[in-house]
Amino acid sequence: MANPKDILVITTSSTDGIKIKKYLKPVSAHIVAGTNLFSDFLGGLTDVFGGRSQSYQKQLTSLYNEAIERIKIAAYELGANCIVGLSIDMDEISGKGKSMFMLTAIGTAVILEKETIEKNPLPNLAEKFENVGVDRINILRNKKNIIQKANSEDLVLNDDVWSFITANQVDEVFPYLLKKYSKAIAIDEINSGSSANFNKQLISYIDCLPDNIKLDLLYNGIQTEKNEQLSLKLAEILDELNLFDFNRVMQLLKSDNFQTQKIGLRISKFDKPFYNKEDIIDLKAIKEFVQKAFGERGIRTIKKQLLSSKEKEVWTCECTKANNDIGSNCDNCFKDIYGFKATDVKPVDICNLIEQKIELIAEYVK
Q: Which of 54-63, 121-130, 185-194 has the lowest mean pLDDT?
A: 121-130
Average the pLDDT over 312-334 and give the result.
90
4-119 adopts what CATH topology? Translation Initiation Factor IF3 (3.30.110)
Q: Is the pLDDT of residue 35 over 90?
A: no
pLDDT for position 49: 47
Q: Which of 239, 158, 164, 150 is nearest to 205 (CA)?
A: 164
CA distance 233 to 259: 14
CA distance 284 to 108: 35
pLDDT-derived band of residue 97, with 50, 70 and 90 as boundaries? Answer: low
Taking each helix axis from N to C end, the angle separating 228-240 and 258-267, rounded to the nearest 10 degrees, works out to 20
Mean confidence (pLDDT) of the chain = 84
pLDDT-derived band of residue 286, with 50, 70 and 90 as boundaries? Answer: very high
Q: Is the pLDDT of residue 98 over 90?
A: no
pLDDT for position 31: 84
Q: Which of 78-82, 163-167, 192-196 has the lowest mean pLDDT?
A: 192-196
pLDDT for position 125: 43
81 vs 93, which has greater pLDDT?
81
Average the pLDDT over 316-329 and give the result.
89
Q: List the domain boundaries for the chain.
A: 4-119, 134-274
Residues 6+ apart with CB under 8 A from 344: 262
Q: Is the pLDDT of residue 46 over 50?
A: no
pLDDT for position 361: 94
Tell me how crowded residue 5 is: count the other CB atoms within 10 A of its CB. 12
Q: Which of 1-15, 170-184, 241-255, 269-283 has the lowest mean pLDDT?
A: 1-15
Cβ 80 vs Cβ 9: under 8 Å: no
Q: Which of 220, 210, 226, 274 is nearest to 247 (CA)?
A: 220
H or E stretch covering 300: strand 299-304
CA distances from 99 to 32, 54, 66, 359 (A): 10, 22, 20, 45
pLDDT for position 306: 65
- Taking CB atoms within 8 Å and a gap of at least 24, the contacts of 178-187 are 178/221, 178/225, 178/230, 179/153, 181/230, 181/233, 182/227, 182/230, 185/227, 185/229, 185/230, 185/233, 186/227
Q: Is the pLDDT of residue 41 over 50?
A: no
